[in-house]
Structures are given as C-alpha cells and as structure tokens.
Amino acid sequence: MMRNDNQEVLADEEGAHWISVSDLMAALMMVFLLVSVVFMVIVQKESERMREVAEIYLDLRQALYQDLLDEFEQDLPRWGAQLTPDLVISFQDSGVLFELGSSKLRPAFETILSDFFPRYVKVITSADYREDIEEVRIEGHTSRDWTNARTDNEAYINNMRLSQERTRSSLEYVINLPKVINEQAWLKKNLTANGLSSSQPIFNSDGSENNELARRVEFRVRTDADSRIRTILEKQRRPINLELNP
C-alpha cells in the first residue's frame, strides 16, 4: 500500500514538473511572438515613412521641374541647353562654353551664366524648395579624347583635371555675380563643383560617342530625400532593443 502511495506522489511530482516546463515554453513562445509582432510593426512603420518620403520627393521634383521649365523654356534653345525631369540643366553647346583644352569661360558663356544663374537661384531658393535642397552640383563633363594621350587612362586623368578646373571656374564666376549676393551663405553651403571627366559620355544612335555633346556643363539639384531614406534604412539595420515590463 505504501508503494502505491509513493508511486502516486512521484507521478504527481512528475506531472507538476512537466506542467511547469510546458508553462515556461508557452511563456517563451508568447515572448517570441510579441517580439515578432513588434518587429513587424516597426518595419511596417519605417516602410510607410520611406514611401511618404518618396512621394514627397516626387511631388517636390515635379513641382520644381515645372517651375524651372516655366522660367527657362524660352531661353534653353538659344543657350544650347536642355532641362530634364531629374532636375538637370545641361549646357551642351561646347563651342560657347570654353576654349578647347582650357578652363577659361568664353565671353558668350559668361553672358549666359549672368542671365541664367540669378534666375535659377531665385527659383531653387524660394520658400517652397530651399529647405529641401541638399546640394546644387555644377558638373563638368568631357569627351574621351585627349590629344597625344598615350593610353586611355592618361586621357581620362587629363580630362578629369580639365573638368574639375572648368567646374571651379564656373562656380567662381556665378557665386560672384552681384545679383546673387543676398544668397551667398546659402550658396556656400549647398553649391559644389564636381569634375567627372569622361565617365558619363553621350552616344549617337549608332553607338559612337558624340564628342560635342559630351563636352558639357550641368547644374544638378539634389534634394534631401536620399539622405532621409538612408537614415530610415540605417535605423532598420540597428538591433532592436525591447524593454518588457514584468
């Protein structure tokens, strides 16, 4: 009789033990489920934020493109320039810009910049855009040619030096125009010069390089949408710390 009683006690203890383990496993599963749900909510919110930033960026880009088009549509053909929807104004008449192999602005290009740049600054620094613009890039491009270059690399390096000198010359000229003096602080913060050599050539329909169009100067607007999205993505990569109150 005593043996049966002991067996019943042991059975009860084993049952209690398994109940405790099962309760612990259930609790752990609930914690993991809670963590998963919280993580999914965070990811969903960050995705929504990225979508909102992208939509704001698209709306802003379209509005700024339209304002620039309204301002310069009549002038672009006579300047040998074009405006693209990605907010790039490209001056492509190489015979007007610089002497061949030189970074000195031709008088005709100085005249164009004196007309263009103050009006350009007026548009991009308006209340609708100035706080959303991260950078205004003056980009210099060349063809792949370089007289007497022994290798492609030598031509590329020489053209890189030339394109950088040309963008610096362009920046120096426009930032000193009297009509933009009131925006000097904003321009010094946001205006940059970037020589790109022949890294972005322009090709004819037959696949050959169009040397004339390749030699160009571009003004490119970059909004802060990219940096906002990068910040959101960086936050998503960080470990998520959850504090669970008992």
Helix, coil or strand: residue 138: strand
Lowest mean pLDDT: which of 22-26, 44-48, 110-114? 44-48
Helix, coil or strand: residue 199: coil
Q: What angle do CA 85, 91, 97 make, to 5 degrees?
A: 170
Count Cβ atoms within 10 A of the Cβ of residue 220 and give its class: 0-12 exposed, 13-18 middle, 19 or more buried.
Answer: middle
**Tens of pLDDT along 81-103?**
999 999 999 999 888 999 888 99
- What distance in Å separates the CA atoms of residue 15 and residue 17, rounded to the nearest whole number? 5
**Tens of pLDDT along 122-176?**
999 999 999 999 999 999 999 888 878 889 999 999 999 999 999 999 999 999 9
Say what the pTM is: 0.73
**Tens of pLDDT along 36-85?**
777 677 666 766 666 666 666 778 889 999 999 999 999 999 999 999 99
- What distance in Å separates the CA atoms of residue 82 and residue 93, rounded to the nearest whole number? 10
